[in-house]
Amino acid sequence: MYHILIAGIACLLLSCKTDHKTPTSEHQQGDELELKYAEGFSIKKTNSKQILTINNPWPDANQEYRFALIPESYDDISLDIDEFAAVIVTPIQNIVVTSTTHIPALELLGVEQTLVGFPGTDYVSSEKTRARIDGGNVRELGKNEGINTEVLLELRPDIVVAFGIDGTNSSMKTIEKSGIPVIYNGDWVEKSPLAKAEWIKFFGALYHKEKEAATIFNQIEHDYIEAKSMASKATSKPTVLCGAMHKDVWYLPNGSSPEAQFLKDANTNYIWSDTKSAGSLALSFEAVFEKAKDAQLWLSPSYYTSYKDLEASNVHYAEFDAFQNKNIYTFSNTTGTTGGVLYYEMGIARPDLVLKDMIKVCHPELLPDYKTTFFKPLN
């Protein structure tokens, strides 16, 4: 599933850089949709059609994908279909998405009823979409890396919104050959949580709900920035450790990563904030213990849900102050009725809620009455 590919074993926290493009109006450069943070897609209106360009659907993607979004009444005979990966009639009537992170966008826009299939329905946490799954309105499609193409072709969705780590998914190639457009969603490659959340505008264009998408995103952005400002008023900065061992390696966010930037926005002292690398830090237990034994907080200790399980996996975890003081917090215990982790589904769409959770954990005095959405004390 999407969250396993992206989250891995490292500290699974969203991040946000406050530097962004200066907003002008709902559209800029004439007919181009304004995007304040997202860099992985663009939408430009030309002659009653919209041109959707996906330019970074996975890390180090070496080509862009262009789609023509046309209304049902479109009658421009000059349209050259060879210029596009696909021509898509909008608004979309039915859709298949392949990541739980896509589902909140559909629900926020009020178009969740168009979802007809999903790979791994047990991972879905949302009560609204779960009710549709349980009612037989959303078909199970197997696994993302090996979708049941027979069922999907029977459904004949208008489009499939996919994600991929390198674009080599053979199932998606089969779907494309059948004439069903496949669009790779690159929200997970973006550099900040607000950039990821801004992909709701991508879905807005598919459903002729551009204004609604902009309004929703603007509120999320406002709430995030407001929460960050609140965190900046904290009088202390707790030292923070995150992640856990996988086999012989402890993975942590590097200091220049979005995850570390998020910890900065929450006004914490992330112990590895001065590091820089292309990916996660991969350290030995001894290296982490030397620097983080006295850390006040331990966030997101991989998939462990209890102190008992954490200690059972490595008895030396119990030597950390955060373990002894019971100051470990996780989102792994916040699940839907079938076990799907809510953070993996909703975290990308609602970075404002994630940041408020972080503030509640790190600076509880700033949000005395706030109840966290994702992060809970380790059992």
pLDDT higher at 65 or 258:
65
The pLDDT assigned to 260 comes to 82
Is 126 within the bounds of a domain? yes
**Last residue within a domain, chosen from 174, 192, 224:** 224
* Mean pLDDT of all residues in 346-362: 96
pLDDT of 166 strictly over 70: yes
Please say which residue of 183, 201, 224 terminates a domain. Answer: 224
Q: Report which DSSP code applies to 319.
A: G
Going by C-alpha positions, the residue among 99, 127, 101, 103 that lies closest to residue 115 is 103
pLDDT of 286 > 60? The answer is: yes
Mean pLDDT of 258-272: 90
Residue 330: phi and psi, rounded to 5, are: -140, 160
Q: Give a yes or no: residue 27 inside a domain.
A: yes
328 domain residue, yes or no: yes
- In this predicted structure, the answer to whether residue 285 has a pLDDT above a threshold of 70 is yes
Same domain, 220 and 255: no
Residue 240: the pLDDT is: 97
Whether 187 and 324 share a structural domain: no
| 12: pLDDT strictly greater than 70 | no
pTM of the model: 0.89
pLDDT of residue 292: 97
Whether residues 267 and 320 share a domain: the answer is: yes
C-alpha radius of gyration, the chain, whole number: 21
φ and ψ at 308, to 5 degrees?
A: -60, -50
Average pLDDT on 276-302 reads: 93
Question: If residue 149 lies in a helix (H) or strand (E), which one and from where to where?
Answer: helix 149-155
Between the CA of residue 12 and those of 37, 77, 129, 274, what are the distances in Å?
A: 21, 49, 24, 19
State which residues form the domain around 369.
Answer: 234-377
* Residue 229 covered by a domain: no
* Residue 294 in this model has a pLDDT that exceeds 80: yes
Confidence band of 106 (pLDDT split at 50, 70, 90)? very high
Confidence of residue 78 (pLDDT cuts 50, 70, 90): confident
For residues 223 and 8, what is the distance between their CA atoms, to the nearest angstrom?
28
Instruction: Find tokens 């304004």 and name the residue.
Output: 34
Q: Are 305 and 369 in the same domain?
A: yes
Distance from C-alpha of 141 to C-alpha of 96, rounded to nearest angstrom: 9
Give me the residue label for tokens 């949302």. Answer: 126
Consecutive H or E run containing 203: helix 200-206
In angstroms, rounded to a whole number, what is the distance separating the alpha carbons of residues 112 and 81? 29
> How confident is the model at residue 21, as a pLDDT?
40
Whether the pLDDT of residue 107 is over 70: the answer is yes
Q: What is the pLDDT of residues 297-319, one digit of tens each?
A: 999 999 999 999 999 999 999 99
Query: Angle at the Cα of 212 (from 210 to 216), degrees rounded to 5?
Result: 115
Question: pLDDT value at position 215?
Answer: 98
Closest by CA to 213, choosing from 74, 36, 55, 14, is 36
Beta-carbon contacts of residue 131 (< 8 Å; ≥ 6 apart) = none
Residue 132 to residue 95: CA distance in whole angstroms: 14
Percent of the chain clearing pLDDT 70 (strictly above): 92
Residue that is written with structure tokens 């550099």 in the block = 191
Instruction: Tell me the pLDDT band of 77, cut-offs 50, 70 and 90.
Output: low
Residues 17, 66 within the same domain:
yes
Judge contact between 99 and 163, C-beta under 8 A.
yes
Same domain, residue pair 191 and 271 = no
- Is residue 195 domain-shared with residue 342, that is, in the same domain? no
Q: What is the CATH number of the domain that holds 92?
A: 3.40.50.1980
Share of the chain above pLDDT 90, in %: 75
Does residue 320 sit within a domain?
Answer: yes
User: Are both 213 and 282 inside the same structural domain?
Assistant: no
- The count of structural domains within the chain is 2
β-bridge partners, 41: 54
The model's pLDDT over 337-347, given as tens digits with 9 standing for 90+, comes to: 999 999 999 99
Residue 153 has pLDDT above 80, yes or no: yes
253 lies in the same domain as 185: no
Q: List the one residue out of 208, 212, 95 whose CA is nearest residue 158.
A: 95
At residue 158, the pLDDT reads 97
Predicted confidence (pLDDT) at residue 17 exceeds the cutoff of 50? no
Mean pLDDT across 66-80: 84
Please say if the pLDDT value at position 9 is more than 60.
no
Final residue belonging to a domain, choices 224, 252, 274? 224
In a shared domain, residues 260 and 219: no
Question: Hey, what amino acid is at 263?
Answer: L
Same domain, 280 and 305: yes
Q: With a cut of 50, say whether residue 10 has pLDDT above it.
A: no
pLDDT score at 170: 86
The pLDDT assigned to 168 comes to 81
What does the alpha-carbon distance between residue 280 and residue 268 come to, in Å, rounded to a whole number? 19
Structure tokens at 369: 């009455």
Q: Is 241 helix (H, G, I), strand (E, B) or coil?
A: strand
Neighbours of 171 (CB within 10 A): 22
Instruction: Report the pLDDT value the prediction gives residue 204, as an integer from 0 to 100.
Output: 98
The 10s digit of each residue's pLDDT in 19-40 is 444 333 344 444 889 999 999 9
Which three-class secondary structure state does DSSP give residue 139? strand
For residues 66 and 80, what is the distance between their CA atoms, to the nearest angstrom? 12
pLDDT band at residue 350 under the 50/70/90 scheme: very high
Task: Give the dihedral of Cα atoms 320, 324, 329, 334; nearest 10 deg.
Answer: 120
Report the alpha-carbon distance of residue 300 to residue 131 in Å, rounded.
29
Using the predicted structure, report yes or no on whether residue 331 has a pLDDT greater than 50: yes
Which of 8-12, 282-286, 375-379 is predicted with the least confidence, judged by mean pLDDT?
8-12
Residue 124 lies in a domain: yes
Whether 19 and 166 map to the same domain: the answer is yes
Q: Is residue 183 part of a domain?
A: yes
